């Protein structure tokens, strides 16, 4: 590994890298907050608004059951959006690899079309 | 209510509370030959795979991470296999069968826990680490100190999580098919040692994949069988559950449903509060689950078995698909068990409800005593057994890699060891971990070891996670902060459990028994003179004897007469302690190396520059 050949500070300071890091951070933070809100609204609603989960929607189905089960598709949506966004960021990151070809970076990422 | 809350917490954490099942007398199966044949088939197939895998194990990299050459889909299934414990399948379906909605929200926490893994942990860890969480921490912090403390907490977590799996699993297997407890523990132990020591990560992965496929497939078949009578019309099925006399009679007995009648009882089954009436406890458990999973050594380890960061996040996505499908099936299985089998029968065989899924399988395929029913039951028991072995194998490998790679090669040899030394160290560590786990499990026979699982999650969330997250994302983190945070977080979680209501408090048990005696005395006084209250007298004598057996000044393990905190799940207190310790100590100390490596860490974290390459050519 040719670690020493890379000027980490310079990469860190470069506009391209900062932009990518910011994009990734925004994606992760937004999705993380959404996921946390959705999951922790279960104990919150049970504690502060217990009647919400008792609302009956159809024969044998109430809002609580639907909300609990909906955590699964919601998690799926979060994961899907994350995969899409990071794939785009990866494609942009492959540009950095071209800039600094000292290290063998997984350029293969470029070939993945999402 | 408190004991039931306790039971729910631990069952959902992955521990079958089936101690009662085995003592209920007899087993659920009458055709033993079928059982042994099915068990033999499952075990033989996994051993065959181990044999194939062991032939291509050469280097330490092969042993720990299968050379980093596992595909994302396969690795995702293996993560699911690592994560879906027997008790998630047996315990959670039982909780839903007995307590409806509250069982469901427990299960959901185990799925939601994978979102932080996907978002914050998977890619950075793959980019920075090699075999263990210690590698990731040492990417920036002082090498020896970080490696040593991270290994200690990793081994604590792995053992705390593993022993209840073995104990609970052995009890369940005994309850279902009558295999003796010690034989079952030794069987699990021996198999796991063979898989891990001989086959390393390759064999462990295959065992986990097979187990995941078996478990998900079996759950799916049960869902199909349960929905068949309703023409796969979900509302009709749920409506039948609400109107089921089984369900209504069961809910009527629960104190939370006081004053309800008829269909209102059925609806109550789908509403919160039958089991968990403390939202704070639920929040604390939820926090430990959601944050602890992201720092579980056996889950993290699986992220190093793939080619790169992209494959790591794809693995987590596949794992979420597998776990999600299995969980949704478990929800249906739970409600179907409440409808087809009924809570009285489930609870009579095991108070924790662990046998709900097997009983449902039996009921849907011909009932008790029939060949079809017993075949299905034996199959489920074999799947449960494979499940236990797979989970335990993953944990053993994680603990052994921490001991061998972090402690021996890292902290002791300073990172300099030949390939042969590394592989030998890994095998010796595997043997040591396995033998400790088996010995403790046999010693703990009949004990309630369930609180250990919650402890495992709490330690992971309070010690490993703050250190990991702050090392990755906070510039000012220092080695000192990480070391103090891991040690302090581990101790905080352990101490909080030791002073919590999870422990037995003899003074309270005694007071309870004396209260019962007083109650019986009142009933005796009120009883008409003619009616012989023989039963009351016997019960009173039993309660009195129980009270007399405990000295008035007896205390808990740590010398307390009553719990100091009311929370069973320490997460909500110990997780902030872990984070605060790392932050405060980091602010008070200077670590030039950690600061100097920050730029490198950020760039590598984001881009994977200089990541340990996958398969060596």
Residues B104, B203 share a domain: yes
Count of pairs with CB atoms under 8 A, one residue in A, one in B: 161
pLDDT in tens, B239-294: 999 999 888 988 888 877 777 888 888 899 999 888 877 888 888 888 998 899 98
- Cα dist from A26 to A19, A22, B450, B473, whole Å: 11, 6, 40, 14
Structure tokens at B47: 């051993």
* pLDDT tops 50 at residue A114: no
Look at residue B264 and tell me if it is in a domain: yes
Kindly state whether A103 is in contact with chain B, defined as any CB-CB distance less than 8 angstroms: yes
* pLDDT tops 90 at residue B581: yes
Confidence of residue B358 (pLDDT cuts 50, 70, 90): confident
- Cα dist from B272 to A55, B233, B248, B276, B566, whole Å: 12, 24, 16, 8, 21
Q: What is the pLDDT of residue A78?
A: 96
Look at residue B561 and tell me if it is in a domain: no
Contact B103, B334 (CB under 8 A): yes
Of B4-18, B310-324, B464-478, B536-550, give the lowest mean pLDDT range: B4-18
Q: Note the ipTM here.
A: 0.83
Q: Dihedral sign, CA of B529, B533, B537, B543?
A: negative
- Cα dist from A114 to A80, A92, B129, B344, B358, whole Å: 12, 13, 27, 52, 43
Could you say which of A61, A103, A112 has the minimum Cβ distance to residue B238?
A61
Helices B143-177 and B479-498: angle between axes, nearest 10 degrees: 30
Interface test with B, best of A9, A42, A56 (most B CBs within 10 A): A42
Q: Per the CB < 8 Å rule, is B310 touching A109?
A: yes
Confidence of residue B28 (pLDDT cuts 50, 70, 90): low
Residues B537, B408 share a domain: no
Q: What is the pLDDT of residue B334?
A: 94
Q: What is the pLDDT of residue B29?
A: 59
Residues B517, B418 share a domain: no
Across residues A70-79, what is the average pLDDT?
Answer: 96
Q: Which helix (H) or strand (E) holds B241?
A: helix B234-243
Contact B355, B18 (CB under 8 A): yes
Residues B126, B37 share a domain: yes
The angle at the Cα of A102, spanning A99 to A106, to the nearest 5 degrees, equals 80
pLDDT in tens, B475-509: 999 999 999 999 999 999 999 988 888 777 888 88
Q: What is the pLDDT of residue B19?
A: 36
Residues B131, B209 share a domain: yes
Q: What is the pLDDT of residue A108?
A: 36
Confidence of residue A99 (pLDDT cuts 50, 70, 90): low
Residues in B 310-339 with any Cβ partner in A closer than 8 A: 310, 313-314, 316-317, 320-321, 324, 327-328, 331
Contact A79, B115 (CB under 8 A): yes
Residues B241, B122 share a domain: yes
Across residues B418-427, what is the average pLDDT?
Answer: 86
Interface test with B, best of A68, A109, A111 (most B CBs within 10 A): A68
Q: What is the pLDDT of residue A111?
A: 35
Residues B527, B435 share a domain: no
Q: What is the pLDDT of residue B467?
A: 94
Contact B134, B151 (CB under 8 A): yes
Q: How far is B470 from chain A (nearest CA, A)?
A: 15
CATH code, B52: 1.20.1730.10
Question: B369: helix, coil or strand?
Answer: coil
Of A101-110, B328-337, B410-419, B477-486, give the lowest mean pLDDT range: A101-110
Residues B406, B321 share a domain: yes
pLDDT in tens, B207-236: 889 889 989 999 999 999 999 999 999 999
- Chain position carrying tokens 């310790």: B581
Residues in A 9-48 with any Cβ partner in B closer than 8 A: 9, 11-12, 17, 20-21, 24, 28, 31-32, 35-36, 39-40, 42-44, 46-47
Residues in A 80-99 with any Cβ partner in B closer than 8 A: 82-83, 86-87, 90, 93, 96-97
Q: With pLDDT > 90 as the criterion, what percentage of chain A qualifies?
A: 46
Q: Which of B396, B429, B445 is the last residue of a domain?
A: B445
Across residues B549-562, what is the average pLDDT?
Answer: 81
HEC secondary structure over B472-514? HHCCCCCHHHHHHHHHHHHHHHHHHHHCCCCCCCHHHHHHHHH
Helices and strands in chain B: count of H runs, count of E runs: 31, 0
Q: What is the pLDDT of residue B318?
A: 94
Interface test with A, best of B272, B326, B328, B332 (most A CBs within 10 A): B272
pLDDT in tens, A18-38: 888 899 999 999 999 999 999
Mean pLDDT score of chain B: 84
Residues B542, B438 share a domain: no
Confidence of residue B448 (pLDDT cuts 50, 70, 90): low
* pLDDT tops 80 at residue B446: no
Of B35-39, B133-137, B394-398, give the lowest mean pLDDT range: B35-39
Q: Which of B402, B428, B445 is the last residue of a domain?
A: B445
pLDDT in tens, B72-82: 999 999 999 98
Could you say which of B116, B234, B602 has the minimum Cβ distance to residue A12?
B602
Q: What is the pLDDT of residue A107?
A: 36
Look at residue B477 and tell me if it is in a domain: no
Taking the complete model, does pTM exceed 0.80, yes or no?
yes
Q: How many domains does chain B have?
A: 2
**Separation between Cα atoms, residue B204 and residue B195, nearest integer Å:** 6
| Annotated domain spans of chain A | 3-111
What residue numbers bound the domain in which B266 lies?
32-445
pLDDT in tens, B29-86: 566 777 778 888 888 888 888 888 777 777 888 888 888 888 999 999 999 998 887 7
Structure tokens at B412: 């002791």
* pLDDT tops 60 at residue B6: no
Q: Which of B445, B474, B490 is the last residue of a domain?
A: B445
Q: What is the pLDDT of residue A96?
A: 62
- Chain position carrying tokens 């059982």: B35
Residues B538, B416 share a domain: no
């Amino acid at each position: 590994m040719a670690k020493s050949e890379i000027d980490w500070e310079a990469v860190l300071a470069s506009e391209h890298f900062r932009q990518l890091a910011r994009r990734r951070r925004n994606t992760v933070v937004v999705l993380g907050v959404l996921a946390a809100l959705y999951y922790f609204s279960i104990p919150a609603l049970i504690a502060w608004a217990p009647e919400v989960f008792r609302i009956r929607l159809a024969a044998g189905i109430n809002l609580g059951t639907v909300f609990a089960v909906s955590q699964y598709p919601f998690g799926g949506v979060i994961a899907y959006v994350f995969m899409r966004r990071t794939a785009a960021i990866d494609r942009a990151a492959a540009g950095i690899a071209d800039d600094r070809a000292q290290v063998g970076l997984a350029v293969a990422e470029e070939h993945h079309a999402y | 209510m408190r004991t039931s809350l306790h039971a729910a917490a631990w069952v959902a954490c992955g521990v079958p509370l089936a101690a009662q099942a085995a003592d209920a007398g007899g087993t659920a199966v009458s055709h033993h030959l079928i059982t042994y044949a099915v068990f033999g088939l499952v075990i033989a197939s996994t051993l065959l795979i181990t044999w194939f895998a062991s032939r291509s194990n050469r280097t330490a990299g092969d042993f720990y991470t299968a050379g980093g050459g596992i595909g994302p889909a396969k690795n995702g299934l293996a993560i699911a296999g690592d994560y879906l414990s027997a008790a998630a399948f047996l315990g959670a379906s039982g909780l839903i069968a007995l307590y409806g909605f509250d069982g469901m929200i427990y299960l959901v926490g185990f799925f939601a826990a994978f979102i932080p893994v996907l978002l914050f942990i998977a890619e950075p860890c793959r980019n920075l680490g090699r075999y263990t969480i210690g590698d990731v921490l040492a990417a920036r912090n002082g090498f020896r100190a970080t490696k040593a403390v991270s290994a200690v907490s990793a081994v604590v977590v792995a053992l705390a999580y593993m022993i209840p799996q073995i104990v609970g699993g052995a009890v369940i297997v005994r309850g279902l098919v009558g295999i003796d407890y010690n034989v079952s523990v030794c069987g699990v132990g021996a198999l796991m040692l063979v898989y891990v020591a001989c086959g390393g990560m390759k064999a462990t992965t295959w065992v986990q994949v097979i187990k995941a496929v078996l478990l998900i497939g079996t759950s799916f078949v049960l869902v199909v069988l349960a929905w068949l009578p309703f023409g796969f019309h979900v509302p009709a099925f749920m409506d039948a559950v609400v109107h089921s006399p089984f369900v209504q009679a069961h809910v009527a007995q629960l104190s939370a449903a006081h004053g309800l009648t008829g269909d209102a009882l059925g609806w109550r089954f789908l509403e919160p509060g039958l089991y968990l009436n403390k939202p704070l406890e639920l929040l604390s458990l939820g926090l430990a689950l959601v944050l602890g999973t992201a720092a579980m050594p056996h889950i993290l380890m699986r992220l190093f078995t793939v080619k790169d960061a992209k494959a790591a996040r794809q693995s987590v996505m596949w794992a979420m698909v597998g776990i999600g499908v299995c969980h949704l099936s478990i929800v249906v299985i739970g409600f179907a068990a409440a409808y087809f089998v009924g809570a009285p029968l489930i609870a009579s065989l095991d108070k924790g409800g662990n046998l709900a899924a097997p009983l449902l399988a039996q009921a849907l395929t011909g009932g008790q005593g029939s060949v079809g029913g017993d075949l299905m039951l034996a199959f489920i028991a074999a799947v449960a057994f494979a499940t236990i072995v797979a989970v335990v194998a993953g944990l053993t490998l994680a603990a052994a890699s921490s001991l061998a790679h972090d402690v021996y090669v890292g902290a002791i040899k300073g990172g300099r060891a030949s390939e042969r030394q590394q592989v030998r160290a890994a095998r010796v560590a595997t043997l040591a971990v396995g033998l400790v786990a088996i010995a403790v499990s046999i010693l703990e026979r009949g004990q309630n070891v369930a609180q250990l699982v919650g402890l495992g999650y709490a330690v992971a969330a309070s010690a490993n996670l703050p250190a990991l997250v702050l090392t990755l994302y906070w510039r000012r983190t220092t080695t000192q902060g990480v070391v103090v945070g891991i040690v302090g977080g581990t101790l905080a979680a352990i101490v909080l459990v030791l002073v919590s209501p999870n422990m037995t408090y003899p003074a309270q048990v005694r007071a309870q028994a004396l209260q019962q005696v007083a109650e019986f005395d009142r009933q005796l006084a009120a009883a008409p003179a003619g009616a012989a209250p023989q039963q009351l007298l016997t019960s009173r004598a039993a309660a009195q004897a129980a009270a007399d057996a405990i000295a008035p000044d007896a205390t808990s393990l740590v010398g307390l007469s009553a719990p100091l905190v009311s929370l069973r799940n320490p997460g909500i207190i110990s997780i902030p302690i872990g984070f605060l310790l790392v932050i405060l100590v980091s602010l008070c100390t200077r670590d030039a190396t950690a600061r100097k490596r920050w730029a490198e860490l950020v760039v590598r974290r984001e881009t994977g520059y200089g990541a340990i390459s996958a398969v060596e050519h």
